[in-house]
Chain A
Amino acid sequence: MARMKFLCDAERCIECNGCVTACKSEHDIPWGVNRRRVVTLNDGVPGEKSISVACMHCSDAPCMAVCPVDCFYQTSEGIVLHDKDLCIGCGYCFYACPFGAPQFPQDGAFGLRGKMDKCTFCAGGPEADNSEAEYKKYGRNRLAEGKLPACAEMCSTKALLGGDADVISDIYRNRVMKRGKGSEVWGWGTAYGKPDAKPATPPGAKS
C-alpha cells in the first residue's frame, strides 16, 4: 500500500458542506473548531470553484518542522498526527501550514489558546485504538475499523476522495479521461511535492 492522501475534485464539489458536517459529527468537534471547511474561489463569479480543505497530511509537513516541542509524528501510511499531551498551543504550526489546518479551541475563562486540534485522517492519535481517551482527544479512529475518513465517505458527489494514493489517483485519472477536463488537483503540489519542480536558481548560481 502507498501512502494515504486526500484529493478534492473542484469540478465536482457543490459546496454542500457535507464533509464539514460529517467530520464535526463523527468526532464531536467543539464549537469554534473546524477540522475541515469548504472554500469557494471566485465566489459569485461565473465559473467559481469550491474545494474542501483540511490537513493534507503533507509528505514533508511544515508543521512538524516548526513544532518547538516535536509533538508531531508521521505514521507508516504517511498520516501526520500529534500528541496532545505534549502540545503547548504555541500556534507555530498554524503559521507554517499552507492549508490553515491547525485549529485552537478557546481554553479557560480568559480565552486562552488550547491545545492544537486538526484532521487526523480519522486515524485517532497516540492512545489505545478506539479507547475513550483517544475519542476524547482525537476523535474516532475509523482507520483502525478498516474504514476511510468520514468526510470522503460522506461526500455526496464524491468530489472529495480519501485513501491510498494509488487508488484515488486512478479514480481521478479515469474521471478526467471521461469528462475531458479538470485535471488540476488543488493542493497536491503543495502537500505532496511536484515531481518535476526545479529550483528557481540552480545551486551555486548568483541570485
Chain B
Amino acid sequence: MTAKKLITAGGVSIVFLFIAGCTDKPVLYKQGEYQGKLDSQPWSNAQFKGERVEWEKALKARSQGQDEYSRAATSAN
C-alpha cells in the first residue's frame, strides 16, 4: 500500500514537473519603457574623444553656416 502511494505521489510530481516546463518564461518587458539597446552619445567617439563642448562647437559652426546673412557679412569683411 505504501509503495503504491509512493508511486502515485511520484507520478503526480512528475506530471507537475512536465506541466511546469510548459509554462511561459517570466517576461521582463516593462510597459512604457524603452526596451531596446542603449545608444551612445554622439561625442563619445574617436573624433570628439568624449568632449561634448567640442562637439557642440562643431555643430554650432555648421548651424551658423545655414545663415547666408552672417556668411555674407563675414565674407564682406
Contacts and interface: CB of A to CB of B under 8 A. Distances in A.
A85 interface: yes
11 contacts: A71-B36, A72-B34, A73-B34, A82-B36, A83-B34, A127-B37, A144-B42, A146-B55, A148-B62, A163-B66, A171-B67
B35 interface: yes
Contacts of B66: 148, 152-153, 158, 161-163, 168, 171
B63 interface: yes
Given A129-B45, A144-B45, A174-B69, A85 B37 contact: yes
A129 B42 contact: yes
Contacts of A1: 56, 59-60
Contacts of A73: 34, 36, 39
Q: How large is the interface on A (under 10, 10 to 19, 20 to 34, 35 or more residues)?
A: 35 or more
A69 B35 contact: yes
Interface residues of B, number: 31
B33 interface: yes
Contacts of A153: 62, 65-66
A85 B47 contact: no
Nearest to A146: B58
A186 B51 CA distance: 35
Interface string A164-183: 10011001001100100000
A115 to B, nearest CB: 12
B64 interface: yes
A129 B59 contact: no
A147 B67 contact: no
Contacts of B59: 1, 143, 146-148, 163-164
A90 interface: no
A147 B44 CA distance: 15
A207 interface: no
Contacts of A158: 66-68
Nearest to A163: B63
Contact of B39 (A69, A75, A85, A148): A75
A127 B36 CA distance: 11
Interface in A81-137: 81-83, 85-86, 123-130
B36 A126 contact: yes
A70 B33 contact: yes
Nearest to A74: B34
Given A71-B36, A127-B37, A178 B62 contact: no
A126 B59 CA distance: 21
B36 A86 contact: yes
B13 to A, nearest CB: 38
